[in-house]
């Protein structure tokens, strides 16, 4: 049988199908392939990643190996994984952003983006928006969705603390911010950008700009769903979110007390005024369920969630019982807890409403 001689072009052609799982662009196109050495039927390549310890490392490695071994005449492939130099990273970032200096719109904000946005809102503070955002995000990730969280509470950020990652500093690749990754999802919060315990002192326009940066300057990769944890009430930031994300859906959180319900309705009215669809209402801290007898105690009253849903013409999607958050260092409920199960159900209900299918097999 005639020997097939393997060429560099054939190697590059085969590798073209391998995508960087983060940016969803070919590793050839993104100049991530270097040092191709062909020795008869043996091929050695080096692939460079943006950051050391990239979590996608083994995924890329496997795909590169498969691609190389699919080339006729190749029987052995060795893959070395390296890290980009600063210049390579600059070029990489420029390619993702588009041309240097050119105003680019984040792929997530483009009209044809398939990412679903859900803003978690409430009329007043402390009802559990951030807790709902975080636990719902984890439930979606567990179902196999690619999830991002924007902590849009620029003054009162709490998402990193809920996830127990307050010490994390996200990597910055040539001014492109890599979101923090934990629990299988991606997070950006103002917390990561302010020196410890310093208050955020910007006003209106700066806040809007920061929020836009959370999309524009952050390399999110592809996401199925993006949750936004809004600050309480109906202020500037909520309005900025509404303006920036015309397709965003709104999830209203309330407590079961009927007085709280009136306030929650206001957040809903605001969403309606800016033509955002309200996808439903979550009643948080709905009741306490005794672990021994299973009996429910309605410590904060009853009926608030149903009342908000009716007033806004939407549905009460979940009632999250009061639970012990302090059991761990995070604000996340264990998956097998009553609350964990309620969030799992909620994620399934929302996915169904949004006709979404998981992207990842879990």
Ligand X SMILES: Nc1ncnc2c1ncn2[C@@H]1O[C@H](COP(=O)(O)OP(=O)(O)OP(=O)(O)O)[C@@H](O)[C@H]1O
Query: What residues numbered 181-240 form the site for ligand X, per CB under 6 A?
Result: 232
Among 79, 166, 325, 338, binds ligand X (CB under 6 A): 325
Q: Which residues, 6+ apart, have CB-to-CB distance to 324 below 8 Å?
A: none
Backbone angles phi, psi at 145, to 5 degrees: -90, 150
Q: Which stretch binds ligand X (CB under 6 A): 144-152, 169-177, 303-311, 320-328?
A: 320-328
The least distance separating ligand X from the CB of residue 165, rounded to whole angstroms, comes to 16
Q: Is 125 annotated as ligand-binding?
A: yes
Binding mask 275-314 for ligand X (x = CB under 6 A): ---------xx-----------------------------
Angle at alpha carbon of residue 245, lines to 240 and 246, rounded to 5°:
110
Partner touching 307 among ligand X, Mg ion, none, CB below 5 to 8 Å by kind: none
* Closest CB 188 distance from ligand X, rounded Å: 16
Q: What residues are paired with 118 via a beta bridge?
A: 227, 249
Strands (E), 211-312: 225-229, 249-254, 278-284, 288-289, 296-297
95 burial level (CB within 10 Å; 0-12, 13-18, 19+):
middle
Residue 94-123 contact track with ligand X, rule CB under 6 A, x = bound: ----------------------------x-
Q: Which is nearer to Mg ion, 253 or 308 (CB)?
A: 253
* Number of Cβ atoms within 10 Å of the Cβ of 228: 27
Binding string, 149-168, against ligand X, x = CB under 6 A?
Answer: ----x--x-x----------
Give the C-alpha separation, 243 to 262, whole Å: 24
- The listed partner (ligand X, Mg ion, none) that binds 131, CB under 5 to 8 Å by sort, is ligand X
Binding residue for Mg ion (CB under 5 A) from 50, 130, 255, 314? Answer: 130
The answer to whether residue 234 forms part of the interface with Mg ion (CB under 5 A) is no
Q: Which two tokens stand for residue 31?
A: 């100049």
Q: Interaction with ligand X in 120-139: which residues (CB under 6 A)? A: 122, 125-131
x/- site string to Mg ion, residues 137 to 166, per CB under 5 A? ---------------------x--------
Binding residue for ligand X, selected from 339, 344, 347, 351, defined by CB under 6 A: 339
The partner in contact with residue 331, picked from ligand X, Mg ion, none with C-beta cut-offs of 5 to 8 angstroms by kind, is ligand X
Q: Is 334 left (phi over 0), alpha (psi -120 to 50) or beta?
A: beta
User: Do residues 305 and 283 touch, judged by C-beta distance below 8 A?
Assistant: yes
Residue with tokens 């210049």: 87
Residue 122 binds which of Mg ion, ligand X, none (CB < 5-8 A, kind-dependent)? ligand X
Number of H helices, E strands in the chain: 10, 15
Distance of alpha carbon 49 from alpha carbon 207, whole angstroms: 33
Residues making up the annotated binding site for ATP are 123-130
């Amino acid at each position: 049988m005639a020997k097939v001689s393997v060429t560099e072009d054939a190697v590059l052609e085969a590798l073209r199908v391998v995508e960087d799982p983060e940016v969803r662009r070919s590793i050839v196109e993104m100049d991530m392939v270097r040092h191709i050495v062909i020795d008869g039927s043996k091929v050695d390549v080096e692939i460079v990643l943006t950051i050391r310890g990239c979590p996608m490392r083994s995924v890329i490695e496997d795909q590169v190996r498969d691609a190389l071994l699919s080339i006729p005449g190749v029987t052995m492939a060795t893959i070395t994984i390296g890290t980009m130099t600063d210049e390579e990273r600059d070029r990489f970032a420029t390619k993702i952003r588009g041309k240097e200096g050119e105003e680019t719109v984040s792929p997530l904000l483009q009209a044809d983006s398939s990412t679903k946005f859900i803003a978690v809102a409430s009329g007043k503070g402390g009802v559990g928006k951030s807790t709902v955002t975080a636990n719902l995000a984890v439930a979606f990730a567990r179902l196999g969705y690619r999830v991002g969280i924007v902590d849009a509470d620029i003054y009162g950020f709490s998402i990193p603390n809920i996830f127990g990652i307050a010490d994390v500093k996200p990597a910055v690749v040539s001014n492109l911010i890599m979101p923090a990754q934990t629990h299988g999802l991606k997070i950006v919060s103002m917390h990561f950008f302010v020196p410890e315990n310093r208050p955020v002192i910007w006003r209106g326009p700066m806040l809007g700009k920061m929020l836009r940066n959370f999309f524009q300057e952050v390399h999110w990769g592809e996401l199925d769903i993006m949750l936004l944890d809004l600050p309480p009430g109906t202020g500037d930031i909520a309005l900025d979110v509404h303006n920036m994300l015309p397709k965003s859906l709104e999830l209203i959180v309330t407590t079961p007390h009927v007085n709280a319900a009136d306030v929650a309705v206001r957040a809903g009215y605001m969403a309606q005024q800016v033509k955002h669809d309200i996808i439903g209402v979550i009643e948080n801290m709905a009741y306490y369920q005794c672990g021994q007898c299973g009996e429910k105690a309605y410590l904060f009253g009853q009926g608030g969630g149903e009342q908000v849903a009716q007033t806004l013409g939407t549905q009460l999607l979940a009632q999250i019982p009061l639970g012990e958050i302090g059991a761990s260092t995070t604000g996340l409920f264990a998956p097998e807890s009553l609350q964990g199960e309620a969030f799992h159900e909620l994620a399934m209900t929302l996915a169904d409403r949004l006709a979404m299918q998981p992207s990842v097999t879990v």
